[in-house]
Amino acid sequence: MTGSLAPLRSAEIIAVGSELLGSTRIDTNSLFLADALASLGIALRAKAVVGDRRGDLATMFRLALERADLVILTGGLGPTDDDLTRDVVSEVLGLPLAEDPAIVADIEARFAKRGMRMPAINRRQAMVPHGATVLENPNGSAPGLLMNVGDRVVVLLPGPPREMKPMFERVATFVLSRRARRERFYRATILVAGRSESHVDEAIQPIYAPLATAVPPIETTILATPGQIEVHLTALSDDPEIARRALASARDRIAAAIGDDAFSLDGRSMEDIVGGLLLGAGSTIAVAESCSGGLLLSRLTDVPGSSAYVRGGVVAYSNDVKTAFADVPADLIAAHGAVSEPVATAMAEGIRARMGATIGVGVTGIAGPGGATPTKPVGTVAIAVAGPAGTTVRTVRFNGSRAQIKHYASQSALDMVRRTVARNAAVRRD
């Protein structure tokens, strides 16, 4: 039956709810949906957020329906007066609403389970446009709805991510995949540290430019995100094998042109990559950090299984803690200042010895806004990495807010650890 219908190529998303128009909440559902749609070969054409106004929602819905093969509306399916999505969609499509007794029974059962009677207003959630398919919601009271409008598809999903995501996954698997075109989007990502966006672009432009017109065509996007540059490659193809091979080849050529600065070829984060290297080398790590204030340790321990290689660490905000917990000589601090390469080195070597780790890291700097001196402005950070083959130390100057400086310091430290562990592994292989 669906075989005769045209494949779904484009989608628009409309998020409904006045709360999404304030300054405190953002629609993240659309990120999940964009990804899920790409794997069905459906391109997201536009997305919009509208408040709880009948007219605005109707206009936006009509517009989306004119342009896209698939229109997804999220939110506005609750039981109260300002939940308008069902009403507006049924009105625009000319499909009258009728109460579905099975949904009423479901919602009544949900309430009964908590020993409560269903409030009368929840009956609204049982109203179904004529001919619509009801999508079960195991995580909430609002069922979803799916309608075929000619060869277009309209899907109504609840707003809360934990209700929306599993519901959409089922719709994707059981309904949309049958209407997908043979071409799908495939992706590869390269993450880069230690180079600016324009330097990355310069190095790889000769590689990616011709890819745009190759078969299959590969599109390249370069994004600067805090502490790293991301290179995203997207291929559209009807053959998964061909797409994956083309992407892998493009990714490897780009990575080779970037060299050591390309730290992740599979989308894994810096802390994940560092963890993998440490685990692979049978190494452990210990950290003494000052200005990064625990963020470096927190990122290291964000990785599942990190207890296998993170020995632990010290956040040494005051000088006597640096001395007592990481064996930094007090006269060294007096001679060079707490923010200095000798102190960073002593922190790295001290914590390495004290915790008996393969790798020791020392980070000391000025996160700001206070604490600057004429020779050491806010953002000055000394980072040392001590390992079996000796200690590397460098001083970097970061710009930005306190939070940004903390992040950049942790990223640079992780990157230095990465290079150290990779180098050690290479030496051992020789």
Asked if 226 is part of the footprint of its own copies (rule: CB under 8 A), the reply reads no
180 near 8, Cβ under 8 Å?
A: yes
CB atoms under 10 Å from CB of 260, counted, come to: 14
Query: Using the rule CB under 8 A, which residue among 124, 179, 376, 406 binds its own copies?
Result: 406
- In terms of CB distance, is 158 or 368 closer to its own copies? 368
**Of 126, 142, 235, 314, which one interacts with its own copies (CB under 8 A)?**
314
Sign of the alpha-carbon dihedral angle for 61, 62, 66, 67 = negative
Which listed residue (42, 48, 103, 235) binds its own copies by CB under 8 A?
48
Among 244, 402, 422, 423, binds its own copies (CB under 8 A): 402
Shortest distance in whole angstroms from residue 247 CB to its own copies: 16
* Site membership for its own copies, residue 324 (CB under 8 A): yes
**To the nearest whole angstrom, how small is the minimum distance from the Cβ of residue 291 to its own copies?**
8
Among 2, 6, 35, 217, binds its own copies (CB under 8 A): 35
* Neighbouring C-alpha atoms within 13 Å toward the C-beta of 75: 24
The yes or no reply on residue 304 touching its own copies (CB under 8 A) is yes
Contact flag: residue 389 with its own copies (CB under 8 A): no
Contact flag: residue 293 with its own copies (CB under 8 A): yes
> In this chain, which of 7, 9, 32, 108 binds its own copies, going by CB under 8 A?
32
Tokens 């899907």, located at residue: 155
- Nearest-Å Rg of the Cα atoms of the chain is 28
Please list every residue from 227 through 266 that binds its own copies, using CB under 8 A.
Answer: 230, 232
Question: Quick one: which of 369, 388, 389, 428 contacts its own copies (CB under 8 A)?
Answer: 369
Binding-residue total with its own copies (CB under 8 A): 69
The CA distance from 150 to 145, in Å, is 16
Using CB under 8 A as the binding rule, the residues of this chain from 343 to 362 that contact its own copies are 354-355
371 lies in the binding site for its own copies (CB under 8 A): yes
Give yes or no for residue 316 binding its own copies (CB under 8 A).
yes
195 is a site residue for its own copies (CB under 8 A):
no
Alpha-carbon gap, residue 231 to 22, rounded angstroms: 32
Member of 176, 192, 229, 287 binding its own copies (CB under 8 A): 287
| Cβ burial, residue 174 (10 Å; 0-12/13-18/19+) | exposed
d(CA 139, CA 161) in angstroms, rounded, equals 10
- The answer to whether 269 contacts its own copies (rule: CB under 8 A) is no
Regarding 70 and contact with its own copies (CB under 8 A), the answer is no
Is 428:358 a contact under the CB 8 Å cutoff? Answer: no
Contact 14, 74 (CB under 8 A): yes
Q: Taking Cα atoms as reference points, which of 118, 417, 389 lies closest to residue 275?
A: 417
Question: By CB under 8 A, is residue 54 in contact with its own copies?
Answer: no
Identify which range of 98-106, 120-128, 134-142, 318-326 contacts its own copies by CB under 8 A.
318-326
Distance between CA atoms of residues 192 and 261, nearest Å: 5
Interacting stretch for its own copies, rule CB under 8 A, among 82-90, 117-125, 168-176, 301-309?
301-309
Going by the DSSP 8-state scheme, the letter that residue 142 receives in this structure is -
The three-state DSSP-derived secondary structure of 269-290 is: CHHHHHHHHHHHHCCCEEEEEC
Closest CA to 171 of 140, 221, 136, 122: 136
Residue with tokens 């020995």: 311
Return residues touching its own copies (CB under 8 A): 19, 21-26, 28, 31-32, 34-35, 38, 44-51, 53, 56, 59-60, 63, 67, 221, 223, 230, 232, 287, 292-302, 304-307, 310-318, 321, 324-325, 354-355, 367-371, 402-403, 406
